[in-house]
Structure 1
């Protein structure tokens, strides 16, 4: 299969590192022009430089904005009014005791993880519908189905974006605009590695030992028995953005290593 996205444009929210940058790199390799986003200009500039090193002939631009706010989403929309492919990747996570998670934290997670995707999709889907072609993806998680007791507030947001994804696919029924959710499992993203490195330092153990224990102890149903790389998740996203994925819509595409113990 030869995925060719030349002539297509893509916006990837939260794409200065980790899964977002890996998706942007994969789309650029397939020929799409990409827009990276991050909260600071310095992070955006660093990500652009890294992508250009990895894909020298890439067409890439960046927008610095806090997409967890209405104003930040408006900044992106005004800077880049249209796109063919929208990857709603921006998100935050943090383990926290349910009884210690206050209202402000719940609201912050909802605004960043859910409303950023709602606001961007509401705008960009209009143009896709008018042009009768588009790809919208929501980065959900196995935590949407397998709610983690240590991150109930996070799992809630991932269930929510999966619901929005399915509903928006129905809204766009009969068009050539597809909408799907991507469900990664534990992934060796920048944020996860920082958390594990901190745990390793506190426990006087190696990163590899802590990483292996994390999968075995917190996700014991994993069939893969290891964390995925950001590139492995990106591969699914690039396929779902392709012409070849034209009959895949309203789906929850799992890249979670078999953690969720169902076949559906």
Structure 2
């Protein structure tokens, strides 16, 4: 299968590192022009330099904007008026204690993980519908299904993304626009990878050993017995953004290494 996205413009939110960066690479390799996004100018500029060095024939642009705010989302919309592909990757997670959390922490995470994608889809999906082709992808998590007790707020936001994704797919049904969610499992991304590096240093073990300990204690149902790579997650996203994936919409597609013990 040869995926060809030449002539398509893609926006990948939260894409200066980790899964988002790998998705930007994958879409560019398939021929799409790609807009990356991060909160700060320096991170965006550094990511653009790296992408342009790796893929000198590809077309990249960058927008520094805090999409957890309505103002930041409006800035992105003003800078990039339309897109054929929208990947709502922006998100984060914090280990916390449910009984100690403040309301503001819940609301801040919801703004970042959920409302950033809601605002972006609200702006870009109508244009896709008018043109008769488009792809919207929400990067959720296996934590949407297996709610982690140490990150209940995070699990809630990832479940909310599934609701938004399915509802939007219903709304744009029959227009040539597809909307799907991708559910990564434990991944060697910037956030979880850095946590494992810090854990390894603290315990005097290797990162591989720290990851194995995490899987044994926190995700013992894994079937691949390792963290997935950002490229493996990106491969699913690039496929679902392709012409070949035109028959898939309203789906929640797992790249979780088999962590979720379900056939659906």
| Class of the TM-score when normalised by the shorter of the 2 chains | over 0.9
Deviation at 1:256, TM superposition (A): 0.3
Deviation at 1:41, TM superposition (A): 0.8
Q: Could you tell me how far apart the structure 2 residues matched to 1:168 and 1:93 are?
A: 24
Q: Could you tell me how far apart the structure 1 residues matched to 2:171 and 2:247 are?
A: 16
Deviation at 1:174, TM superposition (A): 0.9
Deviation at 1:196, TM superposition (A): 1.1
Deviation at 1:163, TM superposition (A): 0.6
Which residue pairs with 1:263 in the alignment?
263
Q: Could you tell me how far apart the structure 2 residues matched to 1:54 and 1:130 are?
A: 34
* Aligned ranges 1:26-65 → 2 under 5 Å: 26-65=26-65
Deviation at 1:50, TM superposition (A): 1.1
Deviation at 1:210, TM superposition (A): 0.6
* Mean CA deviation greater in 198-207 or 245-254: 198-207
- Counterpart secondary structure, 1:63: strand
Q: Could you tell me how far apart the structure 2 residues matched to 1:30 and 1:46 are?
A: 22
Which residue pairs with 1:174 in the alignment?
174
In the alignment, does 2:187 pair up with 1:197? no
Q: Could you tell me how far apart the structure 2 residues matched to 1:201 and 1:235 are?
A: 31
* Aligned ranges 1:150-169 → 2 under 5 Å: 150-169=150-169
Residues 19-65 of structure 1, C-alpha deviations (whole Å, 9 max, x = no match): 00000000000000000000011100111111112211010000000
Which residue pairs with 1:138 in the alignment?
138
Residues 236-257 of structure 1, C-alpha deviations (whole Å, 9 max, x = no match): 0000000000000000011001
Which residue pairs with 2:112 in the alignment?
112
Alignment TM-score, normalising by the size of structure 2:
0.99
- Counterpart secondary structure, 1:181: strand
Q: Could you tell me how far apart the structure 2 residues matched to 1:205 and 1:107 are?
A: 36
Q: Could you tell me how far apart the structure 2 residues matched to 1:176 and 1:113 are?
A: 26
Which residue pairs with 2:10 in the alignment?
10
Q: Which runs of 5+ in 1 are unaligned?
A: none
Which residue pairs with 1:70 in the alignment?
70
Which residue pairs with 2:88 in the alignment?
88
Paired residue total = 264
Q: Could you tell me how far apart the structure 1 residues matched to 2:29 and 2:69 are?
A: 31
Alignment TM-score, normalising by the size of structure 1:
0.99
- Counterpart secondary structure, 2:182: strand
Deviation at 1:100, TM superposition (A): 1.6
Q: Could you tell me how far apart the structure 2 residues matched to 1:100 and 1:198 are?
A: 24
- Counterpart secondary structure, 1:149: coil
Q: Could you tell me how far apart the structure 1 residues matched to 2:2 and 2:118 are?
A: 31
Q: Could you tell me how far apart the structure 1 residues matched to 2:209 and 2:171 are?
A: 46
- Counterpart secondary structure, 1:213: helix
Deviation at 1:94, TM superposition (A): 1.1
Q: Could you tell me how far apart the structure 2 residues matched to 1:247 and 1:54 are?
A: 32
- The alignment yields a C-alpha RMSD, in angstroms, of 0.7
- Counterpart secondary structure, 2:205: coil
Q: Could you tell me how far apart the structure 1 residues matched to 2:101 and 2:56 are?
A: 44
